[in-house]
Amino acid sequence: MHTNYIPPKRKTKVVFVQLGSPEAPTPKALRKYLRNFLGDPRVIDINPWVWKIILNGLVLPFRPAKSAKLYERIWDGKSFPLITNTENFTNSVREELKKIDPEGYVEVNHAFLLSPPYVNEVYDSWEEDLKNNVGATKLMVIPMFPQYSESTIASGVDALAKELSKRVKIPTFEVITNFHRTHAFIDNSVTQLDEKVEELKKDGIEIDKLVISFHGMQKRRVVFKGDDYYRHCYETYRLIVDRLKHLKPEQTVMTFQSRFGSEEWITPYTEDTVEKLIEEGNKELMVYSPSFVADCLETTDELGHELAEDAKEWGGNVYPVECLNTNEQWCKDFAKYVLAQAEGSAQDKEDIEYQMKTEDYEHMPELVMNQS
């Protein structure tokens, strides 16, 4: 034992993990991004040999050019919304933690699975801190996807496990696999929606329906594999719509977006639902996607641009609601959530989220496979 060894001070290193974005809106950058993203067996969970042929023979030769045009619409010349919002969110939470955790028991960083800074870079910084006797004694990973799913959270856990397999020093660590029922997430989502209704009303626009659109998933993952994602989506939907000031629950609908391939995905589909609602006379529609906490291609372009354009052709209007991004109150509340998870008692952790009752699930639609 070195005589100058200093026992480490208790500290938790919290890492916010996001998927990431391509390096640039070019076919070359998208090819690299899609190869890594779609090559993950958690994301595409079919026979790996069959998928490898499809990915390299059909997807990668053609899809990058199409995707690059979509990403170009949300490119600000330097970065993408997901990257910028995640960086700024992390910085804001860090500043809030300084106020409520002056002793510095918690530090926060961010990492991306497919963009720098990568998970291994954050791990490198922790090991470097250890050499200087300022390293954290615990690692807490919070994937920034509110609801659990195999294709997002489990994929992130795999990436962490792969990184740990290469390391000698491994801290006590914990992975938070969902935060969709937290007061921080639900209350700020409700406020975001209420404020949008009020803003539109000032412009003389009365909202007919609110579409709560979640990112899609193959239906069989829920029906046959037991993925919790659909239940978590319903819990999110229920907790939000039951707390809105200006819209009644019956003025809302839960849908799913972003289908890929020919397989049956969770229904109802967002675009089909919006078209039907407009046909039925609901011309003014608000759309919010609580699968995300930072705006990205799926929110800014798929909902904010493509769906809005389709709605006009169908004779209605879609008003997208931004993700929480760097909303000041959201950052403050998430800082409290992080501190409670890292330093709080069992009761503290119990109090940071809403509890669901059996009757809350009475109206949850059952998923049934329609395709043979």
Per-residue confidence (pLDDT) for residue 8, from 0 to 100: 65
CATH-assigned architecture of domain 183-326: 3-Layer(aba) Sandwich (3.40)
Q: Do residues 108 and 338 make contact, with C-beta atoms less than 8 angstroms apart?
A: yes
Domain ranges of the chain: 12-175, 183-326
Number of H helices, E strands in the chain: 13, 8
CATH-assigned architecture of domain 12-175: 3-Layer(aba) Sandwich (3.40)
**pLDDT for 209-246, tens place per residue?**
999 999 999 999 999 999 999 999 999 999 999 999 99
Per-residue confidence (pLDDT) for residue 139, from 0 to 100: 94
Fold identical between 12-175 and 183-326?
yes
Task: State whether residue 80 is helix, strand or coil.
Answer: coil
d(CA 356, CA 182): 11
Q: In what order do the strands lie in the sheet with 252-257?
A: 252-257, 209-215, 284-288, 317-320
Q: Look at residue 250 and tell me whether its pLDDT is greater than 60.
A: yes
**pLDDT for 105-145, tens place per residue?**
999 999 999 999 999 999 999 999 888 888 899 999 999 99
Specify the pTM: 0.95
